[in-house]
Chains A and B, each alone.
Chain A
């Protein structure tokens, strides 16, 4: 089965006054049609940069330096600006953390859906567009009359659903949802996630879910990718990731989650995430790693396949 999304060697740097900060460091990622991937990592580990790079929405002083993003055989990096504009939402859609501020306060919800359709299929008759927009609202469990409402008349959860409804308007091949449930209460979080889950099954797109909430990830995704300092450290099926994480950072991350067996005991990861301006040599995690070896300080570990699990760590290559 060939992947619907193939990210190869994607590298993004921000050119700041203090120097070059490499926010995304030669990342490779494959996603099958209909697959759900959770992208986790600390703040500043490159999750959002990854999403923006795939949308080709990196703004100055950031720059996509190399790499390709293939969706269904089309490399987004090779498209002209106008072709890329058309690809947004129709090939790859981005669902923002929309609870608060992602909808234009002065336009009705309907207008904000219609302009999106019109920007891609300008010759579609108006009635068909209205129909499409209202169907989309219905499929995220909103009433059809939300079409005529303004954002301020909706609750946070409803606004988030509207953002999802916009994201699926043109049935994209890949949907990136950037922390779609932060700023929502836990009950609404669950409902929103169930909605994403259902529409994803209906239209069969691949979903990349970005967030820090491991609990939420555990319930909804098929695969989890852990990022650290702009690199992927481990990509594993969700069950493997939670029961037997391989990369020491992933292990520490899973161990830091609160659980029912030892209530009240929290184990953090000692040290701080590195500054992207001064990424440690070798494996970026080695200064904080309890199992670090000599080679970790000098050689950047390659991502290797260990029976279906992708891990970038010398622990597994040395022993093999």
Chain B
């Protein structure tokens, strides 16, 4: 039974990846821009290449990358290489492979997005739960309000504002980059501290932008749960307030929030990409926007595919973890 479920989920995962890769394949091809022509045109502008034989050169590179073949054949080639996890090479930054670009930038993205979204989830849900709990002190409840206000501001604007105020004007924080210039990356503690120091502003802008959403949804959940009979009965049993809050109220109110977290993964990555770009962090998001600007479609395919795969995998993972949180959901 268990194995059949896993197989069913895996085949679903493959379907999602296939759909995503098909969509990402066709969208850049709808434009008549050619990454090779753009690259050489750029080189020609800066004088590194004479523009005379541009079309000839482009044609020969098109042939080399298989871009001259019929679209359908390119598509089957592409699906075949995706299936073997060969994501190809960057058209723009040849001979760097797409896989290399992803593995270089992935740790930065994981560090920033993972830490900030977990912190935001914990902070937002605690504040929301406290805000809805009738017995919490009023000063504690009012903390939640400013976070809800921030929710209306997109993380990008917050990022620009924080960058301008705290880094540019007040010079309290570094102006972007992943670590100080002049330091060679190594595994020392001082380098680690330097990196953390650079991640504070991007992390704060991501957290401030998303915490309000968790506060609001958790407060709504909390109002519903505190009216449940089992919360009342817990009080009739003479339990301590803390036990009721933790085991009866919070545990139950959190269940839909965990689903919400899985659903939010996609948007976390998109807003993360923009903030990464703003702070010039070498993460997946900024690589993706660079690739989109130069229509470097093999890199676009690779990164989008990778993000799709990770979000889909994480969602399946959450689904498998869910029965641990809610015993009513049994998987067999």
Asked whether B229 lies within 8 Å of A106 as measured between CB atoms, the reply is no
- In angstroms, Cα B250 to Cα A107, docked, is 12
Task: Tell me which of B228, B237, B240, B247 has the highest count of chain A C-beta atoms within 10 A of its own C-beta.
Answer: B237
Interface flag for A221 (CB, 8 Å): no
Q: A104-B247, A105-B230, A152-B327 are in contact. Are A116 and B238 (CB under 8 A)?
A: yes
Asked whether A104 lies within 8 Å of B230 as measured between CB atoms, the reply is yes
Distance from A84 Cβ to chain B, minimum over Cβ atoms (Å): 8
Residues of chain B within 8 A of A245, CB atoms compared = none
Residues of chain A within 8 A of B328, CB atoms compared = 105, 150, 152
Asked whether A106 lies within 8 Å of B234 as measured between CB atoms, the reply is no
Residues of chain B within 8 A of A98, CB atoms compared = 229, 233
Residues of chain B within 8 A of A120, CB atoms compared = 238
Instruction: Report which of B230, B239, B243, B326 forms a contact with A103, defined as CB distance below 8 A.
Output: B230
Contact string against B for A residues 82-120, beta-carbon threshold 8 Å, 1 for contact and 0 otherwise = 000111111001101110111111111001000110011
Residues of chain A within 8 A of B248, CB atoms compared = 104, 107
Distance from B248 Cβ to chain A, minimum over Cβ atoms (Å): 5
Asked whether B238 lies within 8 Å of A101 as measured between CB atoms, the reply is no
Instruction: Report which of B232, B247, B255 forms a contact with A107, defined as CB distance below 8 A.
Output: B247
Residues of chain A within 8 A of B325, CB atoms compared = 106
Asked whether B233 lies within 8 Å of A163 as measured between CB atoms, the reply is yes
Whose C-beta in chain B lies nearest to the C-beta of A93?
B236
- In angstroms, Cα B251 to Cα A84, docked, is 26
Contact string against A for B residues 318-332, beta-carbon threshold 8 Å, 1 for contact and 0 otherwise = 000000011110000
Interface flag for A55 (CB, 8 Å): yes
Instruction: Report which of A85, A90, A96, A111 forms a contact with B232, defined as CB distance below 8 A.
Output: A96
Asked whether A88 lies within 8 Å of B238 as measured between CB atoms, the reply is yes
Asked whether A119 lies within 8 Å of B236 as measured between CB atoms, the reply is no
Judged by DSSP, the binding face of B is helix
Judged by DSSP, the binding face of A is loop
Instruction: Report which of B232, B247, B251 forms a contact with A115, defined as CB distance below 8 A.
Output: B247
Interface flag for B235 (CB, 8 Å): yes
Interface set, chain B 239-298, CB cutoff 8 A to A? 239-240, 243, 247-248, 251-252, 255
Residues of chain A within 8 A of B251, CB atoms compared = 104, 106-107
Asked whether A119 lies within 8 Å of B327 as measured between CB atoms, the reply is no
Residues of chain B within 8 A of A93, CB atoms compared = 236
Instruction: Report which of B235, B237, B238, B327 forms a contact with A105, defined as CB distance below 8 A.
Output: B327
Distance from B104 Cβ to chain A, minimum over Cβ atoms (Å): 42
Distance from A110 Cβ to chain B, minimum over Cβ atoms (Å): 13
Interface flag for A265 (CB, 8 Å): no
Interface set, chain A 72-89, CB cutoff 8 A to B? 85-89
Interface extent on B, as a size class? 20 to 34
Instruction: Report which of B235, B237, B252 forms a contact with A166, defined as CB distance below 8 A.
Output: B237
- In angstroms, Cα B326 to Cα A103, docked, is 14
Interface flag for A154 (CB, 8 Å): no
Asked whether B252 lies within 8 Å of A106 as measured between CB atoms, the reply is yes
- In angstroms, Cα B322 to Cα A106, docked, is 12
Asked whether B229 lies within 8 Å of A115 as measured between CB atoms, the reply is no
Interface flag for A57 (CB, 8 Å): yes
Contact string against B for A residues 211-226, beta-carbon threshold 8 Å, 1 for contact and 0 otherwise = 0000000000000000
Contact string against B for A residues 279-315, beta-carbon threshold 8 Å, 1 for contact and 0 otherwise = 0000000000000000000000000000000000000
Instruction: Report which of A85, A94, A163 forms a contact with B240, defined as CB distance below 8 A.
Output: A85
Residues of chain B within 8 A of A55, CB atoms compared = 236
Residues of chain A within 8 A of B252, CB atoms compared = 104-106
Asked whether B239 lies within 8 Å of A119 as measured between CB atoms, the reply is yes
Distance from B47 Cβ to chain A, minimum over Cβ atoms (Å): 68
- In angstroms, Cα B234 to Cα A166, docked, is 11
Task: Tell me which of A98, A111, A115 has the highest count of chain B C-beta atoms within 10 A of its own C-beta.
Answer: A115
Whose C-beta in chain B lies nearest to the C-beta of A97?
B229
Distance from A228 Cβ to chain B, minimum over Cβ atoms (Å): 26
Asked whether A101 lies within 8 Å of B230 as measured between CB atoms, the reply is yes
- In angstroms, Cα B228 to Cα A115, docked, is 18
Q: A104-B248, A106-B252 are in contact. Are A116 and B237 (CB under 8 A)?
A: yes
Asked whether A102 lies within 8 Å of B238 as measured between CB atoms, the reply is no
Contact string against A for B residues 95-122, beta-carbon threshold 8 Å, 1 for contact and 0 otherwise = 0000000000000000000000000000
Asked whether A85 lies within 8 Å of B238 as measured between CB atoms, the reply is yes
- In angstroms, Cα B208 to Cα A81, docked, is 38
- In angstroms, Cα B229 to Cα A224, docked, is 27
Residues of chain B within 8 A of A85, CB atoms compared = 238-240
- In angstroms, Cα B247 to Cα A100, docked, is 19
- In angstroms, Cα B238 to Cα A111, docked, is 15
- In angstroms, Cα B328 to Cα A150, docked, is 8
- In angstroms, Cα B235 to Cα A111, docked, is 15
Residues of chain B within 8 A of A108, CB atoms compared = 327
- In angstroms, Cα B233 to Cα A115, docked, is 12
Q: A102-B230, A105-B230, A106-B251 are in contact. Are A89 and B236 (CB under 8 A)?
A: yes
Whose C-beta in chain B lies nearest to the C-beta of A117?
B237
Asked whether B238 lies within 8 Å of A90 as measured between CB atoms, the reply is yes
Distance from A232 Cβ to chain B, minimum over Cβ atoms (Å): 23
Q: List 19 A-B residue pairs with CB atoms under 8 Å apart, sorted by A's residue number.
A: A55-B236, A57-B232, A86-B238, A87-B238, A88-B235, A88-B238, A96-B229, A96-B232, A104-B248, A105-B230, A105-B328, A106-B255, A107-B247, A108-B327, A115-B247, A116-B238, A119-B240, A120-B238, A163-B233
8 closest Cβ contacts across the A-B interface? A88-B238, A101-B229, A94-B236, A116-B237, A89-B238, A102-B229, A102-B233, A104-B230
The interface of chain A, by Cβ under 8 A from chain B, is 55, 57, 85-90, 93-94, 96-98, 100-108, 111, 115-116, 119-120, 150, 152, 163, 166
The interface of chain B, by Cβ under 8 A from chain A, is 228-230, 232-240, 243, 247-248, 251-252, 255, 325-328
